[in-house]
Structure 1
Amino acid sequence: MQGTIDGFSYGAVTPLVAYVMACLGGALGLRCVVRSVHTEGSWRPGWLLLGAASIGCGVWTMHFIGMIGFKVVETQMRYDVGLTVLSLVVAIVVVAIGVFAVGYRGASRVTLAAAGVFTGLGVAGMHYLGMASIQLNGSLEYDPVTVALSVLIAIAAATAALWAAVSVKGFLASVGASLVMGLAVSGMHYTGMAAVDVHLHGATDSVIWAGEAPTSLLLPMMIGPVVFLVVAAAVVMFDPVLVMGDMEPAPSSMPRQRVVLRGQSDGVAPLPGDSVAQAWPGPNGGPRN
């Protein structure tokens, strides 16, 4: 017996809130990664990790806000706590791998393609791992063509996000990129949901399943990621370089400008990149005008 699926039991509320969270995570992540490109030393990994965690939390929160509106009319639903937490860890870890790859190696075609595919597969894995945490009086079945389409959307969204992270400059441009990114991630989620059918084990549901009810589990679990996104937003807001988007290259990347006058020596050999003034010593040993 096929179950009756309602993916929008709260109307447009859950899709819109889910989209906003995906955009927020994407916007914060993009700005943090852009900041890391212009940061040297021990601060760079911190910015990259903050950006990866922001994107991962945004994607995970978007998924489970969308799932609050998902129900099967004929049966109760519960969630396995362990798999739900694991899906959050997977989201952050796979995004971090992609972000660190482009953060340190740049957006070359090979790096971007490899990181985009890996991250996209990880985001899709997070989605279907979250779906696997559902417990109900039946089993979930998937249309393979629609599943493949959702995975391709996830890879395209991840690749575009990683490219934007190191290529898009300026605050407004990053906001626009995050809106597109949120649309792509939400599109992947609802494409994956369109692939789902539920095969019920019985006509009625008289069993109280062992997991946690959607609202009793998901809403408390979202407090942590949402608080993290608020803290990340505060970091961005209090960093004027991130807000204004007016970033100078890191000090170590600036060319050396030590001037060495011909005919004079300070006991230190000129280094590559040192400027040599076109001046000859004057009568008193100083430079001739």
Structure 2
Amino acid sequence: MDHAENFALGRWLLVLAYLTSVVGCVLGLACAVQARHAADPRHRLRWLVLASVSIGGVGIWLMHFVAMLGFSTPGMPVRYDVFRTVLSALLAVAAVFVGLLVAGSQARIGWRLLLGGLITGLAVNVMHYTGMSALRVKGGFTYDTPLVVLSVVIAVVAATAALWFAIVLNRLVLRVAAGFVMAIAVTGMHYTGMAAVRMQMDMGAPDPSGTEVFSFLFPVFVLAAIAMAVPLTAVLMAPAVEAAPKAEVAAEKALV
């Protein structure tokens, strides 16, 4: 998957990156559903934090990290600014938290759901382009504006649809399907955004400063394992929302 013969993306990582996003999004949406059914505001807040870490940290940021493992400029080094790389992860988690908080438990397509989808979709883009700003190569790069706009639209539309599925549907299989939809948004946005990159390589430029991606591979995957294990354990130990009493569900719908 080369672009203008200046860089390669590593086509073999596409499936792995997508599956990584699926895991994070499915876990995160499961936590979001638990938040919807939580009676205690503090418990709801905890579930939303877990959902944000799962979606923002794993479904969005880790997917980007996995996909970028295949990024290379043949014959030239690639480095990363660690601060901006970490910042992109924090921005993703924070933005997803705000998006889920805004979307709330509204079961109809209203302004809260649309605004939540907009924020969550933009979170994907914020993470991606902040993460790309951490990239250091021998030369520079710009973006094709129409493809950047398309990447934003893809993320916002699919993220809104996934949030709606997660809020409205109680069946597990349908919530899992919503996770696949959101993962399509994340992965589709990433590769559309990468297609927008226009590299200007300079063989005579000095080697870029920064850290090789494989230098922080181990700590990233350790943190990712924790970010997946904690919400997974919480979801498995929580009561099934499908088992909620009908009266409770009816009362909840009356509030939205």
| Structure 1 CA distance for aligned equivalents of residues 251 and 91 of structure 2 | 38
Equivalent residues in 2 for 1:111-126 (5 A)? 111-126=112-127
CA deviation string 1:130-187 (max 9, x = no partner) = 0000011110111111111001111112212221221121111111221222122111
8 Å CA contact 2:36–2:167 kept in 1: the answer is: yes
Match of 1:279 in 2: none
| Structure 2 CA distance for aligned equivalents of residues 101 and 172 of structure 1 | 25
Give, as a single letter, the amino acid of the residue that structure 1 aligns with 2:136.
Q
Q: C-alpha root-mean-square deviation of aligned residues, in Å?
A: 2.3
Residue 107 of structure 1 deviates from its aligned partner by 4.7
8 Å CA contact 1:23–1:178 kept in 2: the answer is: yes
| Structure 2 CA distance for aligned equivalents of residues 250 and 101 of structure 1 | 25
Match of 1:84 in 2: 85
| Structure 2 CA distance for aligned equivalents of residues 138 and 208 of structure 1 | 9
8 Å CA contact 1:30–1:164 kept in 2: the answer is: no
8 Å CA contact 2:148–2:193 kept in 1: the answer is: yes
- Secondary structure of 2:243 counterpart: coil
Equivalent residues in 2 for 1:134-149 (5 A)? 134-149=135-150
Equivalent residues in 2 for 1:214-225 (5 A)? 214-225=213-224
Residue 239 of structure 1 deviates from its aligned partner by 2.5
Equivalent residues in 2 for 1:258-273 (5 A)? none
Equivalent residues in 2 for 1:10-89 (5 A)? 11-12=11-12, 14-41=13-40, 42-57=42-57, 58-89=59-90
**Quick check: 1:168 aligned with 2:165?**
no
Residue 105 of structure 1 deviates from its aligned partner by 5.4
Give, as a single letter, the amino acid of the residue that structure 1 aligns with 2:33.
V
**Quick check: 1:4 aligned with 2:3?**
no
| Structure 2 CA distance for aligned equivalents of residues 189 and 36 of structure 1 | 28
| Structure 2 CA distance for aligned equivalents of residues 29 and 123 of structure 1 | 14
| Structure 2 CA distance for aligned equivalents of residues 229 and 67 of structure 1 | 20
- Unaligned runs of 5+ residues in structure 2 are none
Residue 122 of structure 1 deviates from its aligned partner by 2.3
| Structure 1 CA distance for aligned equivalents of residues 186 and 116 of structure 2 | 16
| Structure 2 CA distance for aligned equivalents of residues 133 and 198 of structure 1 | 15
Identity across aligned pairs (percent)? Answer: 36
| Structure 1 CA distance for aligned equivalents of residues 218 and 69 of structure 2 | 9
Give the number of the structure whose alpha-carbon radius of gyration is greater: 1
> CA 1:254–1:144 in structure 2 vs 1: closer, same or farther (change >3 Å)?
closer
| Structure 2 CA distance for aligned equivalents of residues 185 and 40 of structure 1 | 31
Give, as a single letter, the amino acid of the residue that structure 2 aligns with 1:246.
A
Aligned residues: 247
| Structure 2 CA distance for aligned equivalents of residues 228 and 211 of structure 1 | 26
- Unaligned runs of 5+ residues in structure 1 are 256-289
8 Å CA contact 1:38–1:248 kept in 2: the answer is: no
Match of 1:233 in 2: 232
Match of 2:151 in 1: 150
CA deviation string 1:104-139 (max 9, x = no partner) = 555541111212222222220110000000011110
- Secondary structure of 2:245 counterpart: coil
Match of 1:132 in 2: 133
8 Å CA contact 1:3–1:199 kept in 2: the answer is: no
Normalising by structure 2, report the TM-score: 0.88
- Secondary structure of 1:72 counterpart: coil
Give, as a single letter, the amino acid of the residue that structure 2 aligns with 1:210.
S
Kindly indicate which of the two structures has a greater share of residues assigned to helix.
2
Match of 2:245 in 1: 248
Residue 250 of structure 1 deviates from its aligned partner by 8.6
